[in-house]
Structure 1
Amino acid sequence: MAFPEPKPRAPELPRTRLKTLDCGQGAVRAVRFNGERRQGRSGSSFRPPRSAAPQPLGGHGYEVLDAAGSFDNSNLCSGGGDKAVVLWDVASGQVVRKFRGHAGKVNTVQFNEEGTVILSGSIDSSIRCWDCRSRKPEPVQTLDEARDGISSVKVSDHEVLAGSVDGRVRRYDLRMGQLFSDYVGSPITCTCFSRDGQCTLVSSLDSTLRLLDKDTGELLGEYTGHKNQQYKLDCCLSERDTHVVSCSEDGKVYFWDLVEGALALALPVGPSVVQSLAYHPTEPCLLTATGGSIQCWREEAYEAEGGTG
């Protein structure tokens, strides 16, 4: 006798505040999960970017605008208003390398999947690729097709996705040596791949998020209701690609149903702009940053280890 397949569990949204970290160092510009992706421990397995840690690290002469960790959590990279890209050793907290070459502040940084190359995007309209193992001061490659500042860079195993203030999202296929460009029409603040790698999500200063087919550029959906008119804000998709998630200038994080486009949740975070967010890759766990604090959110049914939050 064949039993019917169990119905898939309905997606849960992180709406309960689990933890708050007050950093006490001014506005937090970027919050990210670390490289460890342990099942069942996401509530305690995140670390704030080093730029927002209680004991700040030196290395930048101006504010740090973005930070990212390597896949094995052994290194961090950061970029800031001093036009520099800094590679950090996590264990010692020391600067390993400092890369200079951008003509303007560095808005965004990312490691490649192997953690051997740092990609940095700047207001100088370029993406520069820095070899972490080389002692040469110049980048190994420069991507300068944009006509205005680079606001967002994301990296997959063979692709680079970049958003620019010129209103275009560009995808570089490194295997094929090809460039694909889609015009949105409004300055782009953030762009990212969907979890399944089939789509790209683009946020822009017209307070609209757009879901595009990665290969054809076809517009698959639009999501509105939040406010994004002045700031560079993060957006992403949930861990199962069921919801679109975005920061907002009104102090909330917005969730939309990916397929229907309907607003599912407006999560109140704080009184000021929600500058940054990060979604756990496998669980309904969300990190947010507003003002000088970081918040960790979980679904209502979640119970922290030890039975307390």
Structure 2
Amino acid sequence: MAFPEPRPQAPQLPQHLLRTINCQQGAVRAVRFNGDGNYILSCGSDKSLKLWSVGRGTLLKTYSGHGYEVLDADSSFDNSQICSCSSDKTVILWDVATGQVTRKLRGHAGKVNCVQFNEEATVTLSGSIDGTVRCWDNRSRKSEPIQILDEARDGISSLKVVQHELLTGSVDGRVRRYDLRMGQLHVDFIDSPITCVCFSQDGQCTLSSSLDSAVRLLDKSTGEMLGEYKGHKMKGYKLDCCLSNRDTHVLSCSEDGHVYCWDLVEGSLSLKLLVGTAVVQSLSFHPSETRLLTAMEGRVQVWSAEPEETEDEAPLL
């Protein structure tokens, strides 16, 4: 007699608040996991960048060198370097261990909204309100970028690079995908200023959020819209969206104090996570676990699918 197969368990969602970190760096403009998810980067309006441990929420290092608020940051694959960008029009490369500035990259004509390393951390890519993406060679001492992508007709709000592909979102309402190896450009028109873009984990789709309070999932090769996710509020702020680490759910910040989480396939709202009463400015999903970071005002929240057992008694910072 054959027993029926057990029903597959529904993916869990990060809805338990593990800890709140009071960052003490003004408003937190962006919060990011590092590559392996063991550390947190928080970008502050007080010109500082801070590195935290995920497990305890303790401050490990403060990086000071920008002249204005820090808007985005990324960690290299080996955790030895951090790149950050700021309203001061610069991109800075940091030595993680010493906290020292290793390079300060100048060339953008306006504030730099987004920054990311390529996978080997040999190139830093930065996107600015000046409408350009600049590619900087980290192994060279030259001050000029090795490539400038200036196809956008308005500011670059978001960028993601995976292998040889670069995805950018612009205030001109277009999502651009560059195949840097083939020298090709693919453009999808959304008709609303883009606030955030990302690739799906399987590399087959692109996700973009825009100021018409919608998040859209597009087939990367055809541009066909596979899903549209609504219910959140995004009218005047540059807020993040992302996919869960297994591509099962779409998540977005919202101006109403919640993070919205939709089932990717069905499009139904799976979770409306209350963070607080202000705008949820930024979020980041753990690369391998069901954990989520959110940023609201001057605090970062760490969420998990399960309440933590061993560190329940640890005081909130």
State if a TM-score over 0.5 links the two structures: yes
2:133 is aligned with 1:127: yes
Aligned-partner Cα distance in 2 for 1:99–1:5: 57
Given the alignment, which residue of 215, 224, 234 partners 1:209? 215
Q: For residue 218 of structure 1, what is the aligned residue in structure 2? A: 224
Q: For residue 86 of structure 1, what is the aligned residue in structure 2? A: 92
Alpha-carbon displacement from aligned partner over 1:222-275 (angstroms, at most 9, x marks no partner): 110000001110100111111100000111100011111111111010111111
2:106 is aligned with 1:100: yes
2:206 is aligned with 1:200: yes
Q: For residue 303 of structure 1, what is the aligned residue in structure 2? A: 308
Q: CA contact under 8 A between 1:28 and 1:52: conserved in structure 2? A: no
Structure 2 residue matching 1:30: 3-state secondary structure: strand
Task: Extract unaligned runs of 5+ from structure 2.
Answer: 51-58
Look up the equivalent residue of 1:49 and give its one-letter code: S
Q: For residue 40 of structure 1, what is the aligned residue in structure 2? A: none
Aligned-partner Cα distance in 1 for 2:134–2:258: 33
1:1-309 equivalence runs, <5 A: 7-37=7-37, 45-49=38-42, 51-53=48-50, 56-299=62-305, 301-305=306-310
Aligned-partner Cα distance in 1 for 2:267–2:298: 32
Aligned-partner Cα distance in 1 for 2:309–2:172: 44
Aligned-partner Cα distance in 2 for 1:306–1:49: 22
Query: Relative to structure 2, which stretch is displaced further, 63-72 or 52-61?
Result: 52-61
Aligned-partner Cα distance in 1 for 2:127–2:118: 14
Q: CA contact under 8 A between 2:18 and 2:308: conserved in structure 1? A: no
Task: Extract unaligned runs of 5+ from structure 1.
Answer: 38-44
RMSD (Å), alpha carbons: 1.7
How much has 1:30 moved relative to structure 2? 1.0
In structure 2, the CA distance between the partners of 1:3 and 1:116, relative to structure 1 (3 Å rule), is farther
Look up the equivalent residue of 2:27 and give its one-letter code: A
Aligned-partner Cα distance in 2 for 1:180–1:28: 33
Q: TM-score, normalised by structure 1?
A: 0.93
Look up the equivalent residue of 2:42 and give its one-letter code: P
Q: TM-score, normalised by structure 2?
A: 0.91
Aligned-partner Cα distance in 1 for 2:173–2:234: 14
More strand by share: 2
How much has 1:47 moved relative to structure 2? 2.0
Q: CA contact under 8 A between 2:218 and 2:225: conserved in structure 1? A: yes
Q: For residue 53 of structure 2, what is the aligned residue in structure 1? A: none
How much has 1:176 moved relative to structure 2? 1.4
Aligned residues: 301
Aligned-partner Cα distance in 1 for 2:63–2:179: 35
Alpha-carbon displacement from aligned partner over 1:132-162 (angstroms, at most 9, x marks no partner): 1111010000010000000000010110000
Look up the equivalent residue of 1:27 and give its one-letter code: A
Aligned-partner Cα distance in 1 for 2:288–2:36: 12
Look up the equivalent residue of 2:41 and give its one-letter code: P
Q: CA contact under 8 A between 1:49 and 1:68: conserved in structure 2? A: no
